[in-house]
């Protein structure tokens, strides 16, 4: 599952993009930010695999977001979306770490395919990357690694990251089968 964050100041566009992404079998919209400051905060909260980032936004623009996310560990794939198509803006965006720049209006299916392509190159769906993100999230919540329950909780979160359609009972059964059979 590729987790995508939308950063777009047009609220209607935010909703449409999130719905479209959630209708993809291999993608999930983890949230939508209406400004650059909120985007940076949501990246640190949700650890998305990819961001669709509008360049013109209130509070902090897309270039400011790119600059702030430049050196974070497990940096997400960043695709810039913009009506501005100036060579200098494109160059600065790519220099600051964007992987792709697409001009508005754009074909959403093209963007979806680009996310898939870039995600496959980056191996965002590998188990070690997901487990590292889960460990970091649990640490931020103050949950210590020591207790046996940590392993079960970590496994539960991993199952939900792999399949957001799984029920709680199915997840419990899968964990019980895995750990009680050993």
- Predicted confidence (pLDDT) at residue 124 exceeds the cutoff of 60: no
Angstrom distance (rounded) from CA 142 to CA 163: 25
The confidence score (pLDDT) of residue 176 equals: 81
Are 25 and 69 in the same domain?
A: yes
Claim to verify: residue 83 and residue 132 sit in the same structural domain: no
Do 159 and 106 belong together in one domain?
no
pLDDT of 66 > 90? The answer is yes
Q: Are residues 106 and 152 in the same domain?
A: no
Say if residue 97 is in the same domain as residue 83: yes
Q: What percent of the chain has a predicted confidence (pLDDT) above 70?
A: 93
CA distance 4 to 38: 15
What pLDDT, on the 0 to 100 scale, is given for residue 99? 92
Write out the residue range of the structural domain in which residue 149 sits.
127-180
Cβ burial 28-67 (10 Å sphere, 16+ → b, else e): bbbbbbbbbbbbbebbeebbbbbbbbbbebeebbbbbbbb
At residue 33 the predicted structure's pLDDT band, cuts being 50, 70 and 90, is very high
- 162 and 100 in a single domain? The answer is no
pTM: 0.69
Residues 166 and 116 occupy one common structural domain: no
Does the structure show a pLDDT above 80 at 180? no
Same domain for 43 and 107, yes or no, is: yes
Name the CA radius of gyration of the chain, rounded.
18
Q: Residue 162: is its pLDDT beyond 80? A: no
The mean per-residue pLDDT over the stretch 104-132 comes to 80
Per-residue pLDDT tens for 44-56? 888 899 999 999 9
Cα angle, residue 7 at apex, residues 48 and 18 outer, rounded to 5°: 75
With a cut of 80, say whether residue 133 has pLDDT above it. no
Q: Do residue 133 and residue 68 come from a single domain? A: no
**With 80 as the cut, is the pLDDT of residue 16 above it?**
yes
144 or 43: which leads in pLDDT = 43
| Domain edge (last residue) among 97, 122, 147 | 122
Is the domain of 146 the same as that of 169?
yes
Domain boundary among 122, 138, 168: 122
Please count the structural domains in the chain.
Answer: 2
Q: Is the pLDDT of residue 125 over 60?
A: no
CATH number of the CATH domain containing 89: 3.40.50.2300
Query: Which has more confidence, 47 or 165?
Result: 47
Residue range 137-158, pLDDT digits in tens: 788 788 887 777 788 888 888 8
Instruction: Select from 74, 96, 122 the last residue of a domain.
Output: 122
């Amino acid at each position: 599952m590729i987790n995508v964050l939308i950063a777009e100041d047009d609220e209607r566009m935010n909703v449409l993009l999130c719905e479209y992404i959630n209708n993809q079998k291999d993608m999930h919209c983890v949230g939508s930010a209406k400004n650059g400051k909120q985007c940076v905060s949501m990246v640190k909260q949700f650890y998305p695999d990819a961001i669709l980032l509008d360049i013109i936004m209130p509070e902090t623009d897309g270039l400011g977001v790119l600059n702030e996310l430049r050196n974070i560990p497990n940096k997400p794939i960043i695709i810039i979306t913009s009506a501005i198509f100036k060579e200098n803006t494109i160059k600065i965006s790519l220099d600051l770490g964007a992987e792709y720049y697409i001009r508005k209006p754009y074909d959403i299916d093209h963007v979806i395919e680009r996310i898939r392509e870039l995600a496959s190159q980056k191996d965002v769906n590998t188990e070690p990357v997901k487990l590292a993100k889960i460990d970091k999230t649990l640490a931020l919540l103050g949950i210590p690694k020591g207790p046996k329950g940590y392993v079960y909780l970590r496994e539960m979160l991993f199952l939900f990251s792999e399949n957001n359609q799984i029920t709680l009972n199915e997840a419990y059964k899968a964990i019980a089968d895995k750990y009680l059979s050993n």
